[in-house]
């Protein structure tokens, strides 16, 4: 295998990676063409930058920057509330454009996807490079957004290619050109390589992707775990992570988090957010007929330090009504009255099939069955009228404590039409709605919102920090706090980065 980098044919396999350019703000620019080229951010409802346009990035505004700091950096900054339902519509339309060229499309996150176009040259009567450019142009023409496209032999190489020329770029890396593209690439820029593995590679004298790919096989197998070996193989042009178009059907854990602004020390408000996270996680678990043996919770302080607790249950459960007492105990162990908190989170762990649950000898099985019946009805109502149409009283404090500009529903939610829910949107061409333009507009002035025609059902938006969908395998090289592995099987629960 030592000569594989230099002896490959150009296209034994063709894998495409499409990455939306500053996706959330690009969607806003498509809806509001008058904003193109201006510094724009989304996340106004959270008090932190969720996504920054390239004009804003050029000023130094990055994701996660507090809103007050961003405004200091750019007084004319356009601040928009995040409209994740609309972004999901754009995302679904983008993936559908890709499926016109190949059915092998893996939705990796809200703004990223892989596609296997191997063997499509004859069917489409075009080269792989032309197919990639045609997909890119179709997305731009139909949605009014730009994407960066990478084409290569493997998922890792395709990801390297798409990052090479952003925004609005296209980079093909055929087999014979792999070494040329890997030579200047630092190892920390390799998809799946994080800080710990980078430090380890640097200690070995390996500082570039090409140097890593040129390591002897026996050295790699002796010094690295399977994820690191898989990344090494992918860099050499050997496909390890397949493009997998199937929806995810199994989870090792399910988590939900919520960041809010301004920070709060109110116990009822914080516990309400924690319970809402629990309800959201349980809804997702029930969708896949899963129940949890363990539940964990955390509070994130205003100083970005975490307090976390977890508990193992006497039997698996997926009903917040049964778990509220345990969650109250975890919250009591973590909460400090004088501290400010900015985020809460819940994790369901040790998931098992819900149908395999056995009740204890002294448990009230009849009551447990009634709770299950209650939540089956709640799920039906939620599917029709919105996810949290029925919720526990403990989570109702979100509405009471979230009043004010940042706590109000988005303009899109306020203008929802009859028959629409958070997850189901009516496709009406040029639907005129209103949304605040942010700090750059005089008080009271509003921008007209134009939605592209669609008849899609928007997928559920999840917690912050980008998530991925599809199947495949892989984990961060070394498993030591690195970035997510190249081809994990996580669904889009965290589609909040958009960059």
Write out the two tokens for 57: 């990035």
Q: What is the chain's mean pLDDT, rounded? A: 80
C-alpha to C-alpha distance for 263 and 246, rounded to whole angstroms? 39
pLDDT of residue 434: 35
Instruction: Tally Cβ neighbours within 10 Å of residue 72.
Output: 10
- Answer whether residue 441 shows pLDDT above 50: no
The lowest-confidence range among 85-89, 284-288, 422-426 is 422-426
- Answer whether residue 228 shows pLDDT above 50: yes
Question: Does residue 158 contact residue 151 with C-beta atoms inside 8 Å?
Answer: yes
Write out the two tokens for 358: 């056995």
- How many helical (H) and strand (E) elements, i.e. helices and strands, does the chain have? 18, 14
- Answer whether residue 274 shows pLDDT above 90: yes
C-alpha to C-alpha distance for 88 and 226, rounded to whole angstroms? 34
Using pLDDT thresholds of 50, 70 and 90, give the confidence band for residue 475.
very low
C-alpha to C-alpha distance for 292 and 412, rounded to whole angstroms? 34
Mean pLDDT (whole number) for 295-313: 92
Question: Does residue 465 contact residue 494 with C-beta atoms inside 8 Å?
Answer: yes
C-alpha to C-alpha distance for 165 and 179, rounded to whole angstroms? 17
- Answer whether residue 148 shows pLDDT above 80: yes
- Answer whether residue 342 shows pLDDT above 50: yes
- Answer whether residue 492 shows pLDDT above 90: no
Mean pLDDT (whole number) for 217-229: 94
Question: Does residue 20 contact residue 145 with C-beta atoms inside 8 Å?
Answer: yes
Strand order in 15-20's β-sheet? 105-109, 112-116, 15-20, 147-152, 170-172
pLDDT of residue 401: 45
Question: Does residue 436 contact residue 80 with C-beta atoms inside 8 Å?
Answer: yes
C-alpha to C-alpha distance for 19 and 149, rounded to whole angstroms? 6
Domain boundaries defined on the chain: 253-401
Q: Which CATH class is domain 253-401?
A: alpha beta
Using pLDDT thresholds of 50, 70 and 90, give the confidence band for residue 496.
very low
- Answer whether residue 203 shows pLDDT above 50: yes
Write out the two tokens for 170: 């296209």
List, by residue number, the catalytic residues: 112
Using pLDDT thresholds of 50, 70 and 90, give the confidence band for residue 117.
very high
Residue 341 β-bridge partners = 264, 301
Q: Where are the beta strands (DSSP E) in 209-340?
A: 253-264, 290-301, 306-317
Which residue is listed with tokens 């002294």?
362
Ranges 254-263, 315-324, 365-374, most confident: 315-324
Which residue is listed with tokens 């975890």?
330
Which residue is listed with tokens 């007050």?
68
Query: What's CA 119's distance to the chain center, in Å?
Result: 30
Using pLDDT thresholds of 50, 70 and 90, give the confidence band for residue 489.
very low
Q: Which position has the higher pLDDT, 263 or 39?
A: 39
pTM of the model: 0.68
Orientation of helix 365-385 relative to helix 267-287, angle to 10°: 90
């Amino acid at each position: 295998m030592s000569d594989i980098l230099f002896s490959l044919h150009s296209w034994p396999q063709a894998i495409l990676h499409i990455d939306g350019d500053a996706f959330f703000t690009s969607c806003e620019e498509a809806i509001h063409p008058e904003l193109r080229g201006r510094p724009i951010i989304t996340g106004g409802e959270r008090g932190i930058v969720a996504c920054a346009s390239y004009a804003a990035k050029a000023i130094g505004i990055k994701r996660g920057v507090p809103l007050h700091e961003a405004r200091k950096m750019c007084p004319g900054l356009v601040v928009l509330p995040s409209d994740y339902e609309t972004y999901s519509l754009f995302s679904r339309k983008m993936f559908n454009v890709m499926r016109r060229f190949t059915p092998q499309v893996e939705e990796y996150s809200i703004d990223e996807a892989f596609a296997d176009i191997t063997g499509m040259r004859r069917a489409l009567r075009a080269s792989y490079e032309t197919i990639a450019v045609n997909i890119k142009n179709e997305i731009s023409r139909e949605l009014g957004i730009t994407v960066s496209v990478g084409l290569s032999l493997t998922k890792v190489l395709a990801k390297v290619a798409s990052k090479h020329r952003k925004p609005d770029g296209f980079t093909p890396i055929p087999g014979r050109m792999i070494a040329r593209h890997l030579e200047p690439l630092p190892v920390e820029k390799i998809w799946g390589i994080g800080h710990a593995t980078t430090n380890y590679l640097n200690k070995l004298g390996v500082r570039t992707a090409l140097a890593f790919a040129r390591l002897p096989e026996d050295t790699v197998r002796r010094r690295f775990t399977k994820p690191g070996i898989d990344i090494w193989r992918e860099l050499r042009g050997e496909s390890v992570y397949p493009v997998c178009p199937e929806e995810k059907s199994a989870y090792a854990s399910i988590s939900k988090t919520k960041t809010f602004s301004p920070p709060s020390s109110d116990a009822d408000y914080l516990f309400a957010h924690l319970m809402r996270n629990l309800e959201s996680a349980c809804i997702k678990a029930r969708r896949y007929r899963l129940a949890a043996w363990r539940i964990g919770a955390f509070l994130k302080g205003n100083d970005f330090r975490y307090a976390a607790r977890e508990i193992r249950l006497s039997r698996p459960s997926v009903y917040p009504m049964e778990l509220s007492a345990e969650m109250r105990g975890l919250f009591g162990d973590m909460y400090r009255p004088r501290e400010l908190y900015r985020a809460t989170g819940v994790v369901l762990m040790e998931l098992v099939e819900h149908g395999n649950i056995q009740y204890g000898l002294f448990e009230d099985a009849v009551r447990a069955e009634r709770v299950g019946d209650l939540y089956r009805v709640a799920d039906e109502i939620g599917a029709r009228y919105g996810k949290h149409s029925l919720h526990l009283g403990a989570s109702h404090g979100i509405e009471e404590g979230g009043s004010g500009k940042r706590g109000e529903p988005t303009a899109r939610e306020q203008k929802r039409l009859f028959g629409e829910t958070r997850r189901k949107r009516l496709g009406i061409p040029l639907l005129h709605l209103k949304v605040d333009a942010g700090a750059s507009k005089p008080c009271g002035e509003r921008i007209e919102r134009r939605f592209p025609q669609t008849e899609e059902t928007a997928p559920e938006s999840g917690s912050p920090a980008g998530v991925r969908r599809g199947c495949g395998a892989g984990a961060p090289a070394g498993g030591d706090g690195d970035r997510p592995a190249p081809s994990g099987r996580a669904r889009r629960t965290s589609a909040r980065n958009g960059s």
